[in-house]
Amino acid sequence: MLYNDQMHIVAKYITQGYQTIPYTTDATETSTARTQDDSMQPRISQLKDPDVLEEELGKSFTLKQLKVRQDWPQWQEARYNMLDNYQEQGMFGSPMQPPKGVNIHHMLWKYMIKMCGTRKARMVCDGAPRGGTIQLGYTFANSVDAGSERLSWAIAAKKGLQVFGADCSNAFAEAPPPQYPLYMWVDEAYKEWWEHHLQRGPIPKHCTVVRVQNAIQGHPESPRLWEKMIDGILKKNKRQPTTHEPCLYMGYVMGAYTLFLRQVDDFAIGAQDEATANTLITSINCDLKLPIQIMGLVSRFNGMNKQQTKHYIKLTCTEYINKMVQSHPWATQQPLPTMPLPFELDKASLQKLLQCALPTTEDEQAQLEERMGIKYRHVMGEVLFTISPFMQLS
């Protein structure tokens, strides 16, 4: 969430440095936003998918719910895509007989419709710490805090940078495997993918597990393993993290100053143009199995809306708040029929208000309420004025 005082500081630096922003515009353009169409988070109206509704964006589903939907074949395809990516990254060995003396974990599937309208099927490890095969000692991974993220956007505005989004598919699978050997039971989705999508024939009945050869989401060690890997790749490409914020980097690409902000597997790259950002991503891709994709100018990152314009960069929580309100009855809840207390804030007016005589009868009270348009009640000789449904002033 954004605090007013912090936004004022950001606005101060944006105002002082707006003239350095190297956008080229028509003479008629003033503060109009110069973003691409919401390339990182396209709206469902742009996708025109009849099987995805606006209220389903960001929603998770169970397998039972999906199997009765008209778009079930597309969800099956999403599962195939997930396993195809895992195969390209070398995630699993071939189905095999369970080794003796090992603990085996389950394949769990998570289904959701992303805010851009994409169907996402993700297979993860159950991560249960059974039998000592899950290492719980070294699982901490850094995550960018709100202040540091705002700092990066303020610097981008000050230096006249455009910020481009980048997405890393199945990021954890790029990292090495956890400390202890990890095995997972073969489930029906995996069998279907192996036998029908890859057309490799039936899996023998005694081959019920696969060995996990990379880090996988759901395992407690995976975030740490991924962070160590991507941090090493960025430093190899001469990205220098700040002292106070290990998720915020700076460096130069062909002599041009660039910023690099990472939030797990989501990246925001501040550069003078898209070609510079692409050059940096290309160098990082040399160390990854699946390439990172540039997603265009950022319009939404880490849950917050970003408006990049000629004169400023505006940060808001519009979509986050709307989504939060829709998840609660606040949107339909009617407020109490009360109004803020109308009075002046100067010392003389406040003193005069405190010296006013209180109504002594119910008729005087009713007349005052009607005249002022507020509700109040007596409590032990004092008056409580209703300010809002949530706060009262004594």
- pLDDT tens-place string over residues 155-184: 899 888 999 988 887 888 888 888 788 899
Please name which of 351, 339, 380 lies closest in space to residue 394, comparing C-alpha atoms.
Answer: 380
Q: What is the pLDDT of residue 377?
A: 56
Q: What is the pLDDT of residue 218?
A: 87
The CB-side HSE value for 379 (13 A sphere, CA atoms) comes to 9
CA 68 to CA 62: how far, in whole Å? 11
The larger pLDDT score, comparing residue 137 to residue 367, is at: 367
- pLDDT tens-place string over residues 113-148: 887 788 999 999 887 776 666 665 567 888 888 888
Beta bridge mates, 92 = 212
> Residue 290 is which amino acid?
L
Q: What is the pLDDT of residue 378?
A: 47
Other CB atoms within 10 Å distance of the CB of residue 60: 11
Beta bridge mates, 316 = 305
Please name which of 276, 243, 283, 241 lies closest in space to residue 262, comparing C-alpha atoms.
Answer: 241
The larger pLDDT score, comparing residue 324 to residue 298, is at: 298
Q: What is the mean pLDDT of residues 289-313?
A: 85
- pLDDT tens-place string over residues 65-93: 999 998 899 999 999 999 999 999 999 99
Q: What is the pLDDT of residue 197?
A: 93
Other CB atoms within 10 Å distance of the CB of residue 368: 14
Do the bridges between strand 382-386 and strand 376-379 make them parallel or antiparallel, or are there none, so unpaired?
Answer: antiparallel
